[in-house]
Structure 1
Amino acid sequence: MKKNFEEFKEFIKGKRTAVVGIGISNRPLINFLLNLGAKVTAFDKKNENQLGKIAKEFREKNINLILGEDYLHNLNNFQVIFKTPSMRIDNPYLVRARQKGAYITSEMEEFIKYCPAKIYGVTGSDGKTTTTTIMYNILKEHGYKTWVGGNIGTPLFSKIGEMRSEDKVVLELSSFQLMTMNVSPEVAIITNISPNHLDIHKDMNEYINAKKNIFRYQDKSNLLVLNRDNDIVNSMVAEAPGSVRQFSSKRVLNRGGYVKNNSLYIDENEVCKVKEVKIRGMHNVENFLAAFCAVKDDADIGDMREVAINFSGVEHRCEFVRIVDGVRYYNDSIASSPTRTLAGLKAFEKPVILIAGGYDKKIPFDVLAEEGYKKIKALILMGATKGKIKEAFDKLKNEKGIHVPIVVVNSLFDAVNKARELAENGDIITLSPACASFDMFPNFEVRGNSFKEIVCKL
């Protein structure tokens, strides 16, 4: 049962409340809690100069700021703590605060508890953003007032007063957001699971268990949508508290989303032909099938078809940039894992010149070499993982005699220019890094935009 938001207002009023992190997503939360009468202290690793005008704005509102490298040392004597998603719950400062009686939560947990509208939550290693955006568009097409949030869109907790019970909310949820969650959305979707974020999670089991929180607290009236083709995800069917709907691009299902005779189906209903789907790649067909399963009870086939044949994709996801000297350039900067890069490679009709490498999330690259070599004409490597990826392809060469030409460079600028040197008329060059961006860029968007800027100047 959804809680009445009046309860939260009553609960938070006058409470000594800490918000850890003064990033873009937490700023509306800080203002919201202040307006609800909480005594707010905001924490951040950045200093006052780095935060700039937002620090000045908050001080003018009498929000206490604790800043700098040792900011967490002062996480004491708070009744409520809103943690940032990537902060582990076993962080010693949070453990100490909980022992002293603090209520530790996050914006997303409180939002799901109190949101009056129906919530659809999407998680998975790959395809979350695209699936979330497809669902948002289908529900909007049907005529609902629809909100999108979580990892994308606007922070939603501060908008909760504007929402009605007949609205729809679609959330993209990461393993970090889910790790401490003790509440689940009415409709939960798991697109797929493969090794990811092992730099933050202790091991693969912890990562999988975090993902399971998206459905763990559902009731029997709720819906779980699972990928039939992913062994880890398919194994969760028996754990579902409510009903299950599955999707598959590889087998015909009696119920759910599937491909038959080169068409996308939901249950017995044909939605559209595979060739009519505007965004390329079987991984995007799977994203549509997952979305169809999730929204089937609230939208119709016409809405699904309209979005499938018109949706042109999300920026930084196999995004066409331009043609230079007969060579097509694509920006797939979102691909921060080997499986996501593989999915992107499979979307192309021929082997590509691949630019890869970046921040090390402690996940293996063997799968990229073993399954991806057929789709790679040449490999340009950069970033912290360039040696690790090269090792995976060297192993392929030593053990199976399969050789992929590799060039190692020091920057994205060098990577684009080396790829251009190697390319011939009719070739495809794609930035699809198989890694996060944090070694060279603040996030994948900045990386993708930098790539596009370099390509547009060629």
Structure 2
Amino acid sequence: MAATIQEYLAGLRGKTVAVIGIGVSNTPLIKMLLRSGIRVTACDKKRREEFGGLAEELESLGAELRLGPDYLRGLDQDVIFRTPGLRPDVSELLLAQAKGSVVTSEMEVFFQVCPCHTIAVTGSDGKTTTTTIIAELLKKAGYHTFVGGNIGKPLLPDVDGMVPEDYAVLELSSFQLMTMDQSPEIAVVTNLAPNHLDVHKSMAEYIAAKENIFTHQGPEGKAVFNYDNAITREFSESAPGQAVLFSRRQELTQGVYVKDGAIWVSNREGSRAVLPLADILLPGEHNVENYMAAIAAVDGLVPDEVIRAFAAQFAGVEHRIELVRTLDGVRYYNDSIASSPSRTIAGLRSFREKVILIAGGYDKHIPFDALGPEVVEHVKYLVLTGDTADKIAEAVRTCPDYHGTPPISKYEDFDAAVMAAHSMAQPGDVVLLSPACASFDHFKNFAQRGEAFKKIIYEL
């Protein structure tokens, strides 16, 4: 196995390489390979006209493009980089492997050649916020820190600039983890609930993918788990290294927990209060959990006073309960990242008052049963749109405590749904976009959906 990125690239020269997916994560990889003198076939299901000038740029660097519906046909390159969104067991990849191709990914190679410390975060909810908190805390403590994986940018092209004392902080999705055979030095699992069952064959497969974030650690590794989540609590029993638990609901003899209005840490050195809850600028109990996970990860690396100063000023990540605007006494929040019922539930619980909720979107084939009671308890008006509108409405209406409140309205058009929520709002109300679903029925991704929401609100 190559020890450095230079050795890895040298080993590819003279071989043929295919990169599947010409998107944000793989375009820098393609350019790096081409500039290293490697023959690259770049494959994508999009048609040429959708790439604008990028197609010509890659061809000018020497890439062969294979675009359109048949982009996977005839794969036989020596090395194939799989995009995270493509299952590793599609027939074209299996056939290529049978012929001798090595199938890998940008993240798998990064772990092979990364020269610095690694911290990685996964889970169903809270990954991006927890990853961002960890990275920012390390930066505030003086560490040179790189952020990547499922957020930020691909880190493989940056490996040359890393030294052993640096930290790479990564958000990893289940799709990235499915084929990983290495784990980070510090692994964090925020929580687990049904998600992405439109791609994963079963909940068991989804859970198994998440486990890869810690199962390849050695005895010196550290893995952080949510004690309040049954699945992640069970994970802690099989961690090869040190398992650190955090809990918002129960005081722990060892771990991170809430007590007397503060986040505490208990370890071999004793117990101490690290962060008063009142000092956390981000709203919501789920963000308390995100801070606990982050504190567990950086304990011993970041001073407590740095954590307190940061928490008091960190306003959050875009599209995550993001205050867009206050207009005529109405607050509008963008929580477009909420692509599962559990995320929307966390968003609803972040507000003391009942909210006007805009929900619905692409159907990932996950149940909405748990969302129904939360809507009844926390929602003043429910505005639905997208492919899942009927399923969410049914989950609310069949709730035993539902007696016509909240009123439910449905709109085919996203803009019309937002405008309807606006028309219902009175001074003092909160309008919350928290869809409980992915965005792919009408948008490219959750960020585009959030931007569309903000544009409407800004133009009111």
Amino acid at match of 1:14: G
Displacement of 1:49: 1.4
Cα distance between partner residues in 1 of 2:388 and 2:196: 14
The corresponding residue for 1:347 is 350
Cα distance between partner residues in 1 of 2:232 and 2:124: 11
Secondary structure, aligned partner of 1:85: coil
Cα distance between partner residues in 1 of 2:301 and 2:5: 25
Cα distance between partner residues in 1 of 2:35 and 2:300: 37
Moved more, 193-202 or 300-309: 300-309
Q: Which runs of structure 2 are paired with 1:235-314 in the superposition (5 Å)?
A: 235-267=234-266, 268-314=271-317
Displacement of 1:74: 2.6
Amino acid at match of 1:325: D
Amino acid at match of 1:417: M
The corresponding residue for 2:204 is 205
The corresponding residue for 2:394 is 391
> Can you list the C-alpha shifts for 1:112-160, whole angstroms capped at 9, x where unaligned?
1210110100000000000000000100001010000001111100111
Displacement of 1:266: 2.3
Conserved? CA contact 1:108–1:157, under 8 Å: yes
Secondary structure, aligned partner of 2:431: strand
> Structure 1 402/239 Cα, relative in aligned 2: closer, same or farther at 3 Å?
farther
Displacement of 1:235: 0.7
Amino acid at match of 1:193: L
Conserved? CA contact 2:34–2:62, under 8 Å: no
Amino acid at match of 2:88: I
The corresponding residue for 2:157 is 158
Cα distance between partner residues in 1 of 2:186 and 2:361: 34
Amino acid at match of 1:116: P
Displacement of 1:416: 1.7
The corresponding residue for 1:94 is 93
Conserved? CA contact 1:12–1:37, under 8 Å: no
Q: Which runs of structure 2 are paired with 1:98-247 in the superposition (5 Å)?
A: 98-247=97-246
The corresponding residue for 1:27 is 27
Displacement of 1:371: 3.1
Cα distance between partner residues in 2 of 1:209 and 1:415: 38
Q: Which runs of structure 2 are paired with 1:414-429 in the superposition (5 Å)?
A: 414-429=416-431
Cα distance between partner residues in 1 of 2:190 and 2:184: 15
Cα distance between partner residues in 1 of 2:50 and 2:394: 38
The corresponding residue for 2:414 is 412
> Can you list the C-alpha shifts for 1:12-54, whole angstroms capped at 9, x where unaligned?
1221000001112211100111223321111111122111111
Displacement of 1:7: 3.3
Displacement of 1:402: 6.5
Moved more, 125-134 or 293-302: 293-302
Cα distance between partner residues in 1 of 2:142 and 2:363: 43
Amino acid at match of 1:98: Q
Secondary structure, aligned partner of 1:366: coil
The corresponding residue for 2:369 is 366
Conserved? CA contact 2:348–2:374, under 8 Å: no
> Can you list the C-alpha shifts for 1:226-253, whole angstroms capped at 9, x where unaligned?
0000001101111101001111111111
The corresponding residue for 2:38 is 38
Count of residues paired in the alignment:
456
Secondary structure, aligned partner of 2:119: strand
Cα distance between partner residues in 2 of 1:175 and 1:122: 11
Displacement of 1:269: 2.0
Amino acid at match of 1:236: F
Displacement of 1:2: 9.1
TM-score by length of 1: 0.97
Secondary structure, aligned partner of 2:33: helix
Conserved? CA contact 1:354–1:430, under 8 Å: yes
Secondary structure, aligned partner of 1:310: coil
Amino acid at match of 1:168: Y
Cα distance between partner residues in 2 of 1:13 and 1:212: 34
Cα distance between partner residues in 2 of 1:401 and 1:455: 31
Moved more, 272-281 or 192-201: 272-281
Cα distance between partner residues in 1 of 2:403 and 2:272: 47
The corresponding residue for 2:439 is 437
Conserved? CA contact 1:122–1:172, under 8 Å: yes
Amino acid at match of 1:214: I
Amino acid at match of 1:254: T
> Can you list the C-alpha shifts for 1:325-379, whole angstroms capped at 9, x where unaligned?
2111111000000000000110101110100000000001110002332111110
Cα distance between partner residues in 1 of 2:134 and 2:381: 36
> Can you list the C-alpha shifts for 1:265-290, whole angstroms capped at 9, x where unaligned?
22222122111101100100100000
Displacement of 1:404: 2.4
Conserved? CA contact 1:396–1:403, under 8 Å: no
Amino acid at match of 2:185: E
The corresponding residue for 1:375 is 378
Cα distance between partner residues in 2 of 1:196 and 1:163: 34
The corresponding residue for 2:60 is 60
Displacement of 1:183: 0.9
Conserved? CA contact 1:12–1:36, under 8 Å: no
> What stretches of structure 2 of length at least 5 have no aligned partner?
none
Amino acid at match of 1:90: D
Runs of 4+ deviating beyond 3 Å: 1-7, 399-403
> Structure 1 2/182 Cα, relative in aligned 2: closer, same or farther at 3 Å?
same
Displacement of 1:421: 2.1
